[in-house]
Amino acid sequence: MPREYVITLCDGPSCMQQKSKELKAAIEKELEKQSLSNKARINISGCLGMCKQGPVMIINPSYTIYGNVTEKDVPEIITGHLVKKQPVKRLIIEEDHLYNRFFRVFGDVNFFGKQMRIALRNCGIIDPESIDDYLSVRGYEALAKVLTEMAPAQVIETVKKSGLRGRGGAGFPTGIKWELTAREVNDEKFVICNADEGDPGAFMNRSTIEGDPHAVIEGMIIGGYAIGSRKGIIYIRAEYPLAVERLKRALADARLGGFLGQNILGSDYSFDIEIRLGAGAFVCGEETALIHSIEGHRGMPRPRPPFPSVQGLFDKPTLINNVETWANVPVIIIDGAEWFSSIGTQKSKGTKVFALAGKINNTGLVEVPMGTTLREIIYDIGGGIPNNKTFKAVQTGGPSGGCLSAEYLDTPIDYESLAKAGSIMGSGGMIIIDEDSCMVNIAKFFLEFTQNESCGKCTPCREGTKRMLEILTRITEGKGKEGDIEKLERLGMMIKKASLCGLGQSAPNPVLSTIKNFRVEYEEHIRDKKCRAHFCTALLAYEVNEKCVGCGACKKACPVGAVSGTLKNKHEIDKAKCVSCGACYKVCKFGAIKRY
């Protein structure tokens, strides 16, 4: 029997951290207490994208979205909204409207004003653990259409005409990759979903699978049909337990429903999918390293050609796409290649999902049409920089991406424009950096990550990134030398040209892009021994000024006894003993410690 109300709770990573499960229990208890259990149904959903507002609760049919809900708020919401028919205004996120083609108009926030959700179309709307919910939003309709109305070649042609490019980072045309794999004549072919998402601050694939696993599964089945494969593998890192759990349930439900396994939907086509867990190696995001990992070998890339489409998993033709790419496929089949290709730019069609992180007000997932500018994403969707700080840079493309300064804010988000600006699209990580950040240290942070994640197979990546990291470390410790910048540039270009795989070829990007856009900060570190962001502690110095009242707080906080002085008298800092930890600066309440 239909319920009068449907209460949907976001169960994404951020909301879970904010005790969304406890919130669900509190709602169930309150509904029972007020004898409303027969009037309201509680759903869970994947990430809606509004991570800063979590936990997020949506009440239908009024389409009201509540944010930052706590257990203490539950009685007020249930009584006010369900009993008195008066929504609790203080908890409602500012209303706007978003049209989801697969659902209905619902009250939403300005956060969605410039978004268009295709890959994330069902995330935050349906219960990801319910195949019935997926079917209610035209789930598996694309698969049925393919099996009953389209030949494999027609499917490939449709994907080619759509202009869909691989969302894993390289941006290779998806339809062409499918066509190349389909051409190969072999008794066995494989379809792989690359869900090995290792970028710091990225959670696009994880949230897509947690919020809408059937969309990925449906896309893979269609891809398998198109290339003549009967076997699919989802390669996902073991650090995503909820995503793995929901995939397992979705696969089981799909088999029970006849959408997966033998003679799918009564046709003569059979296809099944299994899950393989990765150990979290960043390099396994590279497709040949991923293949080696599935085969049971160490995850190390190999030279190409031959490409996986010719010789992939177990030397068989293999089609590999990432989570976001597969999630787009059912939409293209249902709505047509012409519709999809009408979105975006001339060479970059459709939408792109980004994970906004760093110094930005609205952290979370966003999906925008290709061609949307960085300024629109950061300020209109992301809400700008917290605490009225000044925007300094945006790092796109994950740890191998570039850092772009304010002059690039009006750059459109597409593969060509970002490459021209000195960065990459990558899988969709976007980290915002404000005035308090040191760009030399930012470059060092990302290079530390890629150097540590290097598989060590090729010398340029293994040794080159290590030498670059040594130079950067020396610069941030105040030991930089004239010529270090030029050495970094030469090493970076050599590594890009000579490395075996995409990890090494892009690893120098953060360093090269920060040198290009923030060279003055490198020069200050080397020549003036100063860090303008006051982040590199080895370059900082402290002294007590005339505002000192002799409270002794700085003396107590100093871990090395570098501060001396008597009560109610001006204190002094012994620079020979000072280790530049900043403890005195942090505890002083009178602005008596000068940092320079």
Nearest to 22, CA basis, from 91, 58, 71, 79 = 71
Give burial (CB, 10 Å; 0-12/13-18/19+) of 498. middle
Q: Mark out the alpha helices in 203-312 (DSSP H runs).
A: 204-211, 213-227, 241-256, 287-294
Q: Could you give the CA distance from residue 68 to residue 91 in angstroms, rounded to a whole number?
A: 7
Cα–Cα distance measured from residue 122 to residue 128, given in angstroms and rounded to the nearest whole number: 9
Rounded to whole angstroms, the Cα distance separating 27 from 137 reads: 26
**pTM score, two decimals?**
0.88
For the chain, domains (ranges, CATH) are: 5-93 (3.40.30.10), 131-341 (3.40.50.11540), 351-434 (3.10.20.600), 439-528 (1.20.1440.230), 540-595 (3.30.70.20)
DSSP 8-state assignment for residue 51: G
Position 237, amino acid = R
Could you say which DSSP state residue 261 is in?
B
pLDDT at 339: 96
Q: Are 7 and 59 in contact (CB under 8 A)?
A: yes
Query: What is the structure's pLDDT at 225?
Result: 98
Which pLDDT value is given to residue 95? 44
CA distance linking residue 66 with residue 95, whole number of Å: 10
pLDDT value of position 2 = 60
Evaluate the CA torsion angle 451, 456, 457, 458 in order and state its sign.
Answer: positive
**pLDDT means over runs of 10, the chain (596 residues):** 79 78 90 90 82 84 86 93 91 54 39 85 89 95 98 98 90 96 96 88 85 97 98 94 94 98 97 94 90 94 93 97 96 97 95 93 90 94 91 91 94 93 87 95 94 90 95 95 96 94 90 96 94 90 93 94 94 91 92 90
Of 438, 504, 506, 426, nearest in space to 472 by CA: 438
